[in-house]
């Protein structure tokens, strides 16, 4: 199963959450929350590196797919209209369109991302987010120092919205407002029909209560934080319903030191709630001027402040619901308290779900200078799965081929080859037996060598080839090569001529040969015969001979010698006589 | 070494995959080749038998011939076997053939000279037959040139055409055609 880790680095610490699954089916398998001492509004880099290393190594979080958060309160958020509808066109101009709305920074110093919130005939209405590159660089550097490479980065407010949407709690709601009350800031998100509609981040978190206490009690912030925790615990044990005006119950001079501290806590909490109410009302009026949201969800560390949810609900005059991931998602929390997990996890959960491709907005703030250079990091999990599947497929295929080859070779090929080998060896032996004069040593054939040279499946073809070579060499030896005109044996022609004479001896009478000249292209016979009649008779018989079929007979000359006749028969090849 | 086990796994698997792909392709090719070899068996067996039969025939033919000592020795042995004397037996210049190849020629010349004598037609024919038989048809009689060595007598009518004592001088050329 795919694993993804959400890494929320906020001003006071880190929250790391790991989910396992695919798409909408996921399960939280690990969660860790650690505090880091702040240094100038950001976590101390050295301590952050140590904490991250310890968390990832100690809790064995996966480093393959880590998604980190960008603080929304450090990001400029604007709603702007553009006269385009297609993403390609918007992407080309968005940075320059946004530049007009970025008054306190240069467009080249920010990474600009956008989300569509509405369309009209004239164009598209967008929410543009401009995150400072130096903030992105600071977080990426801190992660890299701890051996973690974030594959993508997203706004914490959008991550919280993503977590709420993926958990299905706002399914079916026409409109919904979400408040993420963090330590230093509060993010407000308005969604209509499950889609992002408006987003705002105000620099006001629950830490402001501790800071107020520290200022009024003249103690440092850390001590005020401890005191705030003690007061919260006391209040949890007591009545959670705080009187509207607790100071009016008893005179100041009659109160104990603890009561005064608690009163001060109530004052600061009320101040915080009043400011929060003011900001929320402004936000709600801008985001949805015509109607109030159907549901209002609250998440974040603010939930850990006792009574804050109820008091805020009472001040706003709406019913607030706490977003509790432990109630809506399958989780394996271990020794982490459910309240702590619910308060801290939404942002990290939303980021982790982004790694599982469960993110409809699909924004990534690791762009331009800080774009993920190593694509392998993105692809390695699917690559590993593909390579593994291919490996096993090929393994099965190879085994199949090898088995098939062995079966064919043993059952059918080898018996055939053995028979051929025996027959071939017998022929080769005879060929070699011809001796050194007829078959030079270099021409001799070794059957084993012929069989074993080259692939085994071609052995029979090699036998045939070798036999052809042997045949060709022998044909050359006996002068029987193709393309050569065969020799007509002069002995055969001679035998044929004398066979005719012997058969017709009675009719021919006396014959005496003066010369007999038999060549391939010309035959000349000079002889003395009894009479011209005998000569004509012999002439007719010789013309009919098969062995003289290709030759023309020149008119024989007649020369009387006493009572006999001397004559000369000359047979000539036809084309020669024509003078070719 | 990479500290990322998945990266290491991918690299190792990729290498193994390459090796396995090579093995798979090789196995597939071999398997197909054996299958094809078996299917082609009857056709190749026919070629095998044809060629083997021809080679065996030629081997038998050459085994029976007396060519091992050379062509001139064969002709000389044949002349000795036929009790024929000759004045010269020598190879002639090879004759180039029009269609390619050449004709190797050996001239056997006979006439009365010293211990040699003129030959009858029967003796010459017998010599030619013996040479062709000794060489199993490899050497052929290319040319026969006979010239009567004595004056003709006055034969009586009805006398046989082959007169006893009729002798000839001349030459016989044996040879074979080979590819260059």
Q: How far is B77 from chain A (nearest CA, A)?
A: 17
pLDDT tens digits, A70-102 = 988 888 888 888 888 888 888 888 888 888 887
How many Å apart are CA B24 and CA A276, to the nearest integer?
68
Residue A7: predicted pLDDT? 92
User: A62: which residues sit within 8 A by CB, 6+ positions away?
Assistant: A3, A4, A5, A18
Return the DSSP state at A183. Answer: S
- Using a CB-CB distance cutoff of 8 angstroms, which residues of chain A are in contact with residue B178? 476, 479, 481, 484
Which of B56, B69, B143 has the CB atom closest to A490's CB atom?
B143
> Comparing A104 with A575, which gets the higher pLDDT?
A104
- Decide: residue A80, CB within 10 A, 0-12 exposed, 13-18 middle, 19+ buried: middle
Percent of chain A with pLDDT over 90: 14
Which positions in chain B touch A461 (Cβ < 8 Å)? 37, 44
pLDDT at residue B154 is higher than 60: no
> In this complex, which of B45, B68, B144 lies closest to A435 when CB atoms are compared?
B68
Region A148-166: what's the mean pLDDT?
A: 90
A432 is written with which tokens? 């070699």
Q: Per the CB < 8 Å rule, is A478 touching B97?
A: no
Closest partner residue to A383 (CB to CB) among B10, B35, B60 is B10
Q: Is the Cβ–Cβ distance between A381 and B7 less than 8 Å?
A: no
Name the minimum distance, in Å, from the CA of A372 to any CA of chain B: 16
- Residue A230's Cβ-count burial label (10 Å; 0-12, 13-18, 19+) is middle
Tens digits of residue pLDDT in B99-138: 778 889 999 999 888 888 888 888 999 999 999 999 888 8
Mean per-residue pLDDT for A65-74? Answer: 89
B18 interface with A at CB cutoff 8 Å: no
| Count, residues in chain A | 580
A16-20, A185-189, A242-246, B46-50: lowest mean pLDDT where?
A: A242-246
Neighbours of A437 (CB within 10 A): 12
**What's the pLDDT score for residue B161?**
47
Give me the residues of B, 134-173, that contact A with CB < 8 A: 136-138, 140-148, 152, 154-155, 157-161, 163, 166, 168, 172
Give the pLDDT confidence score for residue A241 in this predicted structure.
45
Sequence-distant (≥ 6) Cβ neighbours of residue B90 within 8 angstroms: B72, B106, B107
Q: Where are the alpha helices (DSSP H) in A16-86?
A: 45-58
Give contacts of A485 with chain B, Cβ < 8 Å. Answer: 97, 99, 177
Least confident of A241-245, A514-518, A565-569: A241-245
Tokens of A151: 């594959």
Task: Give percent above pLDDT 90 in chain B.
Answer: 35
Residues of chain B found within 8 Å of residue A483, distances taken between Cβ atoms? 99-101, 179
Contacts of A376 in chain B (CB under 8 A): 7
The answer to whether the CB atoms of A484 and B6 lie below 8 A apart is no
Output the furthest CA–CA distance in chain B (Å, rounded). 124
Q: What's the confidence (pLDDT) of residue A424?
A: 92
Among B13, B103, B143, whose Cβ lies nearest the Cβ of A391?
B13
Look at B152 and A514 and tell me if their CB atoms are within 8 Å: yes
Asked whether the predicted pLDDT for residue A67 surpasses 50, the reply is: yes
How many angstroms separate the CA of residue A500 from the nearest CA in chain B? Answer: 12
What confidence score (pLDDT) does residue A575 get?
62
Q: Do A474 and B99 touch (CB under 8 A)?
A: no
Which chain A residues are closer than 8 Å to B15 by Cβ?
A: none
How many angstroms separate the Cα of A40 from the Cα of each of A12, A45, A143, A185, B116?
11, 11, 19, 15, 134
B44 touches chain A (CB under 8 A): yes
Q: Which residues from chain A sit within 8 angstroms of residue B144, using beta carbons?
A: 490-491, 494, 516-518
Burial A483-509 (b: 16+ CB within 10 A, else e): ebeebbbbbebbeebbebbeeeeeebb
Q: How many CB pairs under 8 A join A and B?
A: 237
- Tokens of residue A3, six digits: 């694993």
- Are A3 and A62 in contact by the 8 Å Cβ rule? The answer is yes
Look at phi and psi of residue B88 and say left if phi exceeds 0, alpha if psi is from -120 to 50, else beta.
Answer: beta
Express each pLDDT in A552-579 by its tens digit: 888 888 888 777 888 898 988 876 544 4
ipTM of this complex: 0.77
> Is residue B155 within 8 Å of A510, Cβ to Cβ?
yes
Contacts with A506 (C-beta within 8 Å, 6 or more apart), sequence order? none
- How many percent of chain A have pLDDT more than 70? 93
Mean confidence (pLDDT) of chain A: 84
B145·A460 Cβ contact <8 A: no
Residue A243, pLDDT > 70, answer no
Task: Summarize pLDDT for A259-291 with one digit per residue, the tens.
Answer: 777 778 888 888 888 898 999 888 888 887 777
**What is the pLDDT averaged over residues B127-155?**
83
CA angle A465, A469, A473 (to 5 degrees): 170
Q: Which of A175-179, A184-188, A206-210 is predicted with the least confidence, judged by mean pLDDT?
A: A206-210
Q: Does residue A580 carry a pLDDT above 50?
A: no
Asked if A423's CB is within 8 angstroms of B58's CB, the reply is no
Per-residue model confidence (pLDDT) at position A442: 75
B46 and chain A in contact, CB less than 8 A = no
């Amino acid at each position: 199963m795919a694993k993804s880790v959400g890494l929320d680095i906020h001003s006071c610490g880190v929250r790391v959450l790991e989910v396992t699954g695919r798409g909408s089916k996921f399960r939280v398998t690990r969660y860790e929350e650690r505090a880091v001492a702040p240094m100038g509004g950001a976590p101390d880099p050295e301590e952050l590196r140590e904490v991250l290393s310890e968390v990832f190594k100690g809790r064995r979080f996966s480093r393959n797919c880590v998604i980190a958060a960008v603080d929304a309160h450090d990001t400029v958020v604007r709603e702007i209209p553009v006269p385009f509808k297609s993403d390609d066109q918007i992407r080309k101009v968005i940075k320059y369109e946004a530049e007009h709305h970025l008054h306190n920074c240069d467009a080249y110093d920010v990474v600009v991302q956008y989300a569509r919130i509405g369309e009209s005939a004239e164009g598209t209405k967008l929410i543009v987010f401009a995150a400072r590159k130096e903030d992105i660089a600071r977080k990426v550097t801190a992660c890299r120092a701890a051996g973690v490479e974030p594959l993508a980065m997203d706004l914490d407010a959008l991550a919280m919205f993503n977590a709420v949407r993926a958990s299905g709690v706002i399914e079916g709601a026409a409109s919904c407002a979400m408040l993420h009350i963090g330590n230093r800031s509060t993010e407000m998100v308005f969604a209509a029909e499950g889609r992002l509609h408006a987003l705002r981040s105000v620099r006001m978190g629950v830490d402001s209560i501790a800071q107020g206490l520290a200022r009024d009690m003249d103690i440092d912030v850390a001590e005020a934080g401890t005191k705030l925790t003690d007061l919260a615990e006391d209040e949890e044990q007591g009545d959670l319903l705080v009187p509207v005006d607790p100071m009016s119950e008893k005179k100041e001079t009659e109160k104990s030191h603890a009561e005064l501290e608690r009163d001060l806590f109530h004052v600061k909490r009320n101040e915080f709630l009043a400011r929060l109410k003011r900001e929320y009302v402004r936000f709600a009026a801008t985001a949805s001027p015509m109607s109030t949201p159907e549901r209002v969800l609250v998440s974040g560390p603010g939930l850990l402040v006792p009574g804050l949810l109820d008091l805020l609900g009472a001040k706003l005059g709406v019913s607030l619901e706490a977003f509790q991931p432990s109630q809506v998602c399958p989780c394996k929390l271990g020794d982490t308290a459910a309240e702590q997990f619910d308060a801290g996890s939404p942002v990290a959960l939303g980021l982790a779900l982004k790694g599982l491709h469960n993110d409809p907005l699909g924004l990534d703030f690791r762009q331009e200078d800080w774009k993920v250079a190593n694509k392998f990091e993105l692809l390695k999990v699917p690559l590993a799965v593909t390579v593994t599947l291919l490996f096993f497929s090929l393994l099965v295929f190879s085994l199949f081929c090898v088995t098939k080859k062995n079966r064919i070779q043993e059952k059918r090929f080898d018996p055939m080859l053995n028979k051929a080998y025996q027959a071939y060896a017998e022929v080769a032996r005879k060929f070699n037996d011809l001796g050194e004069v007829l078959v030079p040593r270099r021409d001799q054939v070794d059957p084993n060598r012929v069989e074993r040279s080259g692939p085994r499946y071609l052995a029979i073809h090699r036998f045939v080839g070798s036999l052809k070579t042997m045949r060709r060499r022998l044909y050359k030896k006996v002068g029987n090569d193709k393309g050569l005109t065969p020799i007509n044996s002069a002995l055969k022609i001679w035998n044929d001529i004398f066979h005719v004479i012997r058969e017709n001896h009675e009719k021919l009478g006396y014959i005496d040969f003066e010369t007999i000249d038999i060549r391939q292209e010309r035959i000349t016979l000079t002889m003395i015969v009894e009479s011209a009649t005998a000569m004509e008779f012999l002439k007719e018989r010789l013309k009919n001979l098969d062995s003289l079929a290709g030759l023309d007979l020149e008119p024989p000359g007649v020369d009387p010698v006493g009572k006999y006749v001397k004559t000369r028969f000359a047979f000539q090849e036809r084309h020669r006589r024509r003078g070719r | 070494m990479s500290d990322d086990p998945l990266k290491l796994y991918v690299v190792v698997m990729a290498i193994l995959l390459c090796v396995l792909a090579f093995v798979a392709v090789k196995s597939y090719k071999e398997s197909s080749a054996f299958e094809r070899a078996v299917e082609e068996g009857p056709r190749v067996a026919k070629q095998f038998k044809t060629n083997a039969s021809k080679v065996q025939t030629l081997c038998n033919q050459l085994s029976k011939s007396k060519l091992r000592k050379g062509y001139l020795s064969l002709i000389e042995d044949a002349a000795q076997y036929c009790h024929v004397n000759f004045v010269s037996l020598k190879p002639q210049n090879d004759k180039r053939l029009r269609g390619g190849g050449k004709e190797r020629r050996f001239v056997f010349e006979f006439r009365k000279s010293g211990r040699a004598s003129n030959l009858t037609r029967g003796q010459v024919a017998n010599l030619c037959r013996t040479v062709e038989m000794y060489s199993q048809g490899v050497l052929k009689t290319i040319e026969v040139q006979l010239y009567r060595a004595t004056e003709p007598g006055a034969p009586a009518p009805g006398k046989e055409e082959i007169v006893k004592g009729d002798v000839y001088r001349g030459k016989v050329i044996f040879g074979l055609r080979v590819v260059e």
